[in-house]
Structure 1
Amino acid sequence: MAPNDASLGEAAELIAGAGAVLVCAGAGMGVDSGLPDFRGDEGFWNAYPPYERLGIRFAELADPRHFADDPELAWGFYGHRLDLYRKTVPHEGFRILRGWGESKPGGAPVFTSNVDGQFGEAGFGMVAEVHGSIHHLQCVVPCGPHIWPATDLDVAVDHETMRATGPLPRCPRCGNLARPNILMFGDGDWIPHRTDEQLHALNEWRREHRDLVVIELGAGKAVPTVRRYAELASAATGALIRVNPREPEIRHGRGVSLPHGALETLAALDARLKAG
């Protein structure tokens, strides 16, 4: 990104003049931390070659029916991801965003479709995980509204077959199989109250902080949840900064488009802000 990029300067001015920062993040935010890009079948299969050999696509695998039909297959995928996310260190861009929030009276809460827990690991206080979290579990049935942390869970996975090989987690209430508290494709059994509480808190925050700038990072059009929320939150002011190397377009020109990766853009913006 060129230091004299006019759009970069415009984005920096929006951040400098705002009373609060709202971070809206999709999967692209985690790529600079080394997390796999599931965009399209090729991206998914590059990350998980065994599934390419089996001809299984991400949308097929992220289906809750597998927990009933083939729990070893289901927990092979989610157990591997849980271990991966636990070992992943949030990249420097997370620290930059948190620093901007700490410099604002309104702070920097987060709205994200990511289930990896990276924002919590990076120290953000208010995080709304709209698709749930892999670090929390629920009953497959479900037998009730109970959600509990996956803190002590360790699922053994055969990396050749990507199937779970050890004991699978169980619901402490009824003894049935447990699953991640994640909203999957065609999921009628997801328990949403943890996410609902987070969203309620974030929406209350938005009512109290109208002078915000929205920084959207790595949110694509395929599942447009994050993009729509970012556009809604910035509708009154047009103070939207969309950071996306593949789909940077902004409808009706209501905001600033930065067609680059998350980390390089945040670093360039931070340098511009520090330079004044």
Structure 2
Amino acid sequence: MYEQEIAQAAALIKNADALLITAGAGMGVDSGLPDFRGNEGFWKAYPALAASRVEFSSIANPHAFLADPKQAWGFYGHRLALYRKTVPHEGFQILRDIAARMRLGCFVITSNVDGQFQKAGFDASRILEIHGSIHHLQCMDPCRETVWPADYLTPKIDEEKCEWTGQLPTCLHCGCLARPNVLMFDDWHWQPLRHDLQRGNWRVWSDLPKKMVVIELGAGIDIPSIRRTSEAQRVPVIRINPRHPEVRSETGVSLPMGAKDALVAIWKLL
């Protein structure tokens, strides 16, 4: 199935000198991570929030930390613990192997906040996390632009209530409530310090390739930032998405498959 498209994708990769990997939430599904596709998918992963009809856009919102910080940190603390224990699927290693064959290697642009690319061994200086990272914190206030690692946090969550138990995380500088350094809905106080540094790295690297190819994985259409980023490069795009694989460019390839299965199939031809 899709033999022609897979062969076209492999041919584009063989002809490239650099790889841009763009990834949305669908990239983590094969690692066992939930895909918050609509409220039903979100509530399936968080039944405690389903019972109170709390929508994803309401809990993934800085206002939630003001209205009910235990619940907000219950949600984000659970996600932090989940991402820490998740093992990246074999597709991540295939992407590294593909990049290793190219003169300029690869760069990653992702809307995911899970840190899975770093965990899979990708060079942190070649990753742009456009929505920030759950593995870093900032002041809720914010008292300053500082961002710091969340490594010292040990989430303890009452999953039946989706609540953080014990002392809530606080700012290292002023002692006020801390929050994840994640760009949320209606978020005017997200601190983009890490993001700006990462974007600077991207600008430098993106001037180097002469024949770049994009492999886009699991990027949705509801928030199309990643899809637009892929298309903005004006190079061939291999779009891997089981639900919305359409590509606009005539030089692109549409693969209606899951991320891992598509990468395994492409790698067999390389």
What TM-score results when the alignment is normalised by the length of structure 1? 0.95
- Distance, in Å, in 2 between the alignment partners of 1:138 and 1:114 is 18
- Superposition pairs of residues 194-273 of structure 1, within 5 angstroms: 194-233=194-233, 235=234, 237=235, 239-273=236-270
Q: Identify the residue that residue 61 of structure 1 maps to in structure 2.
A: 59
Q: Deviations over 1:193-232 (max 9, x none)?
A: 2111101211221111131100000001101110000101
Q: Identify the residue that residue 118 of structure 2 maps to in structure 1.
A: 120
Q: Identify the residue that residue 46 of structure 2 maps to in structure 1.
A: 48
- Distance, in Å, in 2 between the alignment partners of 1:178 and 1:254 is 46
Q: Deviations over 1:102-149 (max 9, x none)?
A: 111111110000000000000111110000000000000000011000
Alignment check: 8 A CA contact 2:58 2:64 kept: no
- Distance, in Å, in 1 between the alignment partners of 2:230 and 2:243 is 17
Q: Identify the residue that residue 85 of structure 2 maps to in structure 1.
A: 87
Tell me by how many angstroms 1:252 deviates. 4.5
Structure 1 pair 108/25, CA: closer, same or farther in 2 (3 Å)?
same
- Distance, in Å, in 1 between the alignment partners of 2:70 and 2:97 is 42
- Distance, in Å, in 2 between the alignment partners of 1:87 and 1:65 is 28
Alignment check: 8 A CA contact 2:146 2:193 kept: no
Alignment check: 8 A CA contact 1:155 1:167 kept: no
| RMSD across aligned positions (CA) | 1.0
Does 2:174 match 1:174?
yes
Unmatched 5+ stretches in structure 1: none
Identity %: 53
- Distance, in Å, in 1 between the alignment partners of 2:223 and 2:112 is 12
Alignment check: 8 A CA contact 2:109 2:127 kept: yes
Q: Identify the residue that residue 187 of structure 1 maps to in structure 2.
A: 187
Tell me by how many angstroms 1:254 deviates. 4.4
The SS at the match of 1:198 is helix
- Distance, in Å, in 1 between the alignment partners of 2:166 and 2:225 is 35
Tell me by how many angstroms 1:253 deviates. 3.5
- Distance, in Å, in 1 between the alignment partners of 2:69 and 2:133 is 19
Q: Identify the residue that residue 150 of structure 1 maps to in structure 2.
A: 150
Letter matched to residue 229 of structure 1: T
Q: Identify the residue that residue 108 of structure 2 maps to in structure 1.
A: 110
Does 2:109 match 1:74?
no
- Distance, in Å, in 2 between the alignment partners of 1:24 and 1:201 is 15
The SS at the match of 1:189 is coil
The SS at the match of 2:49 is helix
Letter matched to residue 52 of structure 1: A
Moved over 4 A (4+): none
- Distance, in Å, in 2 between the alignment partners of 1:188 and 1:15 is 39
Q: Number of aligned pairs?
A: 268
Report the more deviating stretch, 83-92 or 98-107: 98-107
The SS at the match of 1:135 is strand
Tell me by how many angstroms 1:67 deviates. 1.1
- Distance, in Å, in 2 between the alignment partners of 1:203 and 1:253 is 26
